[in-house]
Amino acid sequence: MTKARRRLLITAAAGTVLTLAAALAVMAMRDAMVFFYSPTMVAENPPEPGQRVRVGGLVVAGTVERPSSGGANFTVTDGNAEIRILFAGSLPDLFREGQGIVAEGAFDEEFRFTAANVLAKHDETYMPPEVARALRDSGYWQNGEAAPSSSYGDSVQETGR
């Protein structure tokens, strides 16, 4: 095969695969992109019921309720507004009151947020960037200030022991 033909062939193959991959990526991105809503954003301009979104904020102390049927319900805040989150699964081991969390799920017609999962972190001092931005946008957390978090002592063990 001549050099020119080989180049043409390689270019054609690469072009085909790249086009295919780009098409796959764009289509997948459109379906898989999940928008983040802070409690303030939800209050001002709520997402459609059923649309898959992420919400997040600081878990409000004293709002965590654990129904006997399993799961847990709790409220998150960004200082301006609050969202009640219903979660049927088992909370991540690092879930604590006062901590910044992100939950993925959807609002229903009655405007309750049902989470499909609550994101777990390896590090209990970690603040998800979405939540950090939401807290800054709401004015709850000024730049330069230490990250807000409630003190969690031995009282917040969740083992039920």
Residue 135 CB, shortest distance to other proteins, in Å, is 13
Per-residue b/e over 90-123, b at no fewer than 16 CB within 10 Å? ebeebbbbebbbbbbbbbeeeeebebeebbebee
Site for other proteins in 93-152 (CB under 8 A): 93-94, 102, 104, 119-124, 126, 128-130, 133, 152
The stretch near other proteins (CB under 8 A) out of 10-18, 75-83, 107-115, 138-146 is: 10-18
Q: How buried is residue 52: exposed, middle or buried, by Cβ count under 10 Å (0-12/13-18/19+)?
A: middle
Spatial separation of the C-alpha atoms in residues 123 and 148, rounded to whole Å: 15
**Count residues contacting other proteins (CB under 8 A)?**
57
Of 46, 38, 57, 50, the C-alpha closest to 105 is 50
Cβ pair 103, 120 in contact under 8 A: no
27 binds other proteins (CB under 8 A): yes
Residue 25 CB, shortest distance to other proteins, in Å, is 5
Footprint on this chain of other proteins (rule: CB under 8 A) = 1-3, 6, 9-10, 13-14, 17-18, 21, 24-25, 27-29, 31-36, 41, 54, 66, 68-71, 88-91, 93-94, 102, 104, 119-124, 126, 128-130, 133, 152-154, 156-161
